[in-house]
């Protein structure tokens, strides 16, 4: 498969045929499309002010006026879910972008130069890998204060080793192929080889790992907000909503926690399905 075609949006014919025959993939794409629309236009689509108190009964059940019910302060859960989609989606997206870019850059440099550069970089990555992402995020919050910025930076650093190890192994295999030596003999510069040949060849693996990483980042950030260390009330972040609705579970009013939790689970599943298909397409094209 041509990576340039994949990156440019021209999906190979075998991928298009597979997509048509794969209802699970189509469902995942539709779900992700809805979530992205919620993230961009959620506040505009919300029927109520997400922070307005007592627009309905306290801990009310779903109804015609309140599709997802109301929370313990009478706020419309559907409006809060729409308003909180942006932070819940864009924060893990930022984690994935930063970790993928930095991890891939370090991996390519380590594979290209080898020797001491590779050894030192690998040891630093091993140290980072030994620290769980959630622990690093909690330490960042303790140092810089509550909010999403510190956990985003911390998780971006924590996810670098995963991308690094995958890309370094793939880059080593790619650099060992005859065409790389042929390009060097022809006098093609190092930057040209990297950006015109090496990076495009590694792109499918990076994209596939990034989609999987998005799911983990979303879960980790939701957990951090659930613990009260990420987004702070009255923000309508999905993790905050799950935590705030926890007491109502015991009173038979699960709506405040149930709907944002379902959205987190469904979004993560959809992203993972898409990532699995991207990996399969890349491997099928390579063969």
pLDDT tens digits, one per residue of 56-76: 888 888 999 899 999 888 899
Confidence of residue 161 (pLDDT cuts 50, 70, 90): very high
Residue 99 CB neighbours (<10 A): 25
Give 13's Cβ-side CA count (13 Å radius).
0
Cβ atoms 38, 31 nearer than 8 A:
no
Q: Which of 257, 229, 258 is nearest to 244 (CA)?
A: 257
- Tens of pLDDT, residues 110-130: 998 888 988 999 999 999 988
Predicted model pTM: 0.81
pLDDT at residue 177, rounded to an integer? 86
* pLDDT at residue 176 tops 50: yes
pLDDT by residue (tens digit) across 221-247?
988 988 888 888 888 889 889 888 888
| Segments making up each domain of the chain, as ranges | 3-286
CATH of domain 3-286: 1.10.3720.10
5-59 pLDDT, tens digit per residue, is 444 444 455 455 555 677 888 889 999 999 999 999 998 999 999 988 889 888 8
| Token pair listed for 153 | 């930076």
- Give pLDDT, residue 6: 43
Q: CA 13 to CA 29: how far, in whole Å?
A: 18
Mean pLDDT of the chain: 85
Q: Name the least confident of 4-8, 44-48, 255-259, 267-271.
A: 4-8
């Amino acid at each position: 498969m041509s990576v340039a075609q994949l990156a440019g949006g021209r999906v190979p014919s075998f991928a298009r045929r597979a997509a048509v025959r794969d209802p699970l993939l189509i469902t995942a794409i539709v779900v992700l499309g809805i979530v992205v629309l919620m993230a961009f236009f959620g506040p505009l689509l919300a029927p109520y002010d997400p922070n307005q108190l007592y627009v309905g009964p306290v801990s009310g059940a779903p109804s015609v006026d309140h599709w997802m019910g109301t929370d313990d302060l009478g706020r419309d859960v559907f409006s809060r879910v729409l308003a909180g989609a942006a932070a819940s989606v864009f924060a893990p997206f930022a984690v994935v972008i930063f970790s993928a870019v930095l991890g891939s850059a370090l991996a390519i440099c380590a594979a290209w130069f080898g020797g001491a550069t590779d050894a030192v970089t690998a040891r630093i990555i091993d140290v980072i890998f030994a620290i769980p992402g959630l622990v690093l995020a909690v330490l960042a919050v303790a140092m810089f204060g509550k909010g999403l910025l510190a956990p985003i930076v911390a998780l971006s650093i924590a996810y670098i080793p995963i991308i690094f190890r995958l890309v370094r192994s793939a880059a080593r295999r790619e650099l060992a192929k005859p065409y790389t030596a042929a390009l060097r003999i022809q006098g093609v510069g190092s930057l040209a080889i990297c950006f015109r040949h090496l990076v495009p060849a590694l792109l499918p693996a990076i994209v596939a790992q990034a989609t999987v990483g998005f799911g983990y980042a979303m879960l980790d950030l939701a957990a951090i907000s659930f613990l009260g260390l990420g987004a702070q009330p009255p923000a309508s972040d999905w993790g905050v909503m799950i935590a705030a609705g926890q007491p109502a579970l015991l009173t038979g009013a699960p709506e405040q926690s149930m709907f944002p939790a379902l959205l987190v689970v469904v979004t993560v599943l959809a992203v993972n399905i898409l990532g699995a298909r991207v990996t399969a397409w890349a491997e099928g094209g390579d063969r």
